[in-house]
Amino acid sequence: MTSECFLYLLTRLRVQSRAGKRAPHKPLLLLLAMGNLCRGEPRLLPYGNIAVRLIDLLARFGPYTYRRSRRPQDPICRLPKDGLWELRGHIPAAGNDGVPSHGGLMRSDVSAGFPEAVHSLLVAHPEVLWMGAQFLLDSYFAESLHEDLVSEVGIHRAMQPAPRSSRKRNPEFRREVIRAYEHRCAVCDYDIRLDNNLMGLEAAHIQWHAYDGPDEVPNGLALCTLHHKAFDLGGISLLDDLRLVVSDDLHGQNRAFDLWFLDHKHKPIRAPRRDELRPDPLFLHWHREQVFQG
């Protein structure tokens, strides 16, 4: 296995989509396997070991509509067809959906992991591991979630400089979005500066860049770091009239939670003064359907 072949297989990854919903099951499984390698875990691990951790990753970083389905067997059993995964042991009979049941796999002796050729390549060339991880992150997840993901699975120990996504980003996107929102958070009006330098104010994509969201102001929001992270994790979203909605799964136990979230619930955000710069309902619909934990 060469590095070129490995990266090519990642670009050809067949990612399942149900009714147009994003489905990052295989990318999460591959990131998990990369983290296992970085921690020195055996190449092949018992199905149950992988499934438990994958369920947790899906609950934290997967679409809300998939989080309750708890079907780790789908990517674990389907990924071998992509040439990046191996199953070993007595695999139970498949059900009507084409894969064995989770319960049957838990009772089996099945183990899974990278094929020997892939494992040897990534052990010998950790920079290739990071290039692959960066491709998966850029292709399937919002940028604000990258650090959390690599830390969660343990890939940070193998980080190496790598090229960013081949899709070009507009370097003016952040400046244009923040200017459109008058240099303050659209939700809470946060605008703290050190001299003339804004601190903790970011330009968020409504439809993620990884899912072809354009670098245009109608697909952007000026948000403080806290509201940006909550937006990308699905804790908050916007209705077409720009009223803020807060997920029932977002909670806290002190006044700070009320101050940052509940006090803004069902209230309109600060919109750009120019109508043509307001968030496009098409992008807002994508976020509510694909990200919001509603």
* pLDDT tens-digit map of 69-87: 668 999 999 999 999 999 9
Q: Give dist(CA 97, CA 109) in Å, integer.
A: 21
Q: Give dist(CA 268, CA 245) in Å, integer.
A: 10
- Predicted confidence at residue 64, as pLDDT, reads 73
Q: What is the pLDDT of residues 155-174, one digit of tens each?
A: 864 455 544 445 566 778 99
- Predicted confidence at residue 8, as pLDDT, reads 94
From the list 10, 223, 38, 16, the residue with the least C-alpha distance to 127 is 38
- Predicted confidence at residue 168, as pLDDT, reads 66
Q: Give dist(CA 92, CA 88) in Å, integer.
A: 11
Mean pLDDT of the chain: 90
Which residue has 């919001």 as its token pair?
292
- Predicted confidence at residue 25, as pLDDT, reads 92
Assess contact for 185 and 227: CB atoms under 8 A.
Answer: yes
Checking if the pLDDT of 22 tops 80, the result is no
pLDDT bin (cut points 50, 70, 90) of residue 65 is: low
Checking if the pLDDT of 248 tops 50, the result is yes
With 0-12 CB in 10 A as exposed, 13-18 as middle and 19+ as buried, what is 161?
Answer: exposed
Query: pTM for this one?
Result: 0.78
For residues 211-222, give the mean pLDDT: 94
- Measured from the Cβ of residue 258, the count of other Cβ atoms closer than 10 Å reads 12
Which residue has 């690599």 as its token pair?
150
Q: Give dist(CA 30, CA 113) in Å, integer.
A: 9
Q: What is the pLDDT of residues 26-60, one digit of tens each?
A: 999 999 999 999 989 999 999 999 999 999 998 88
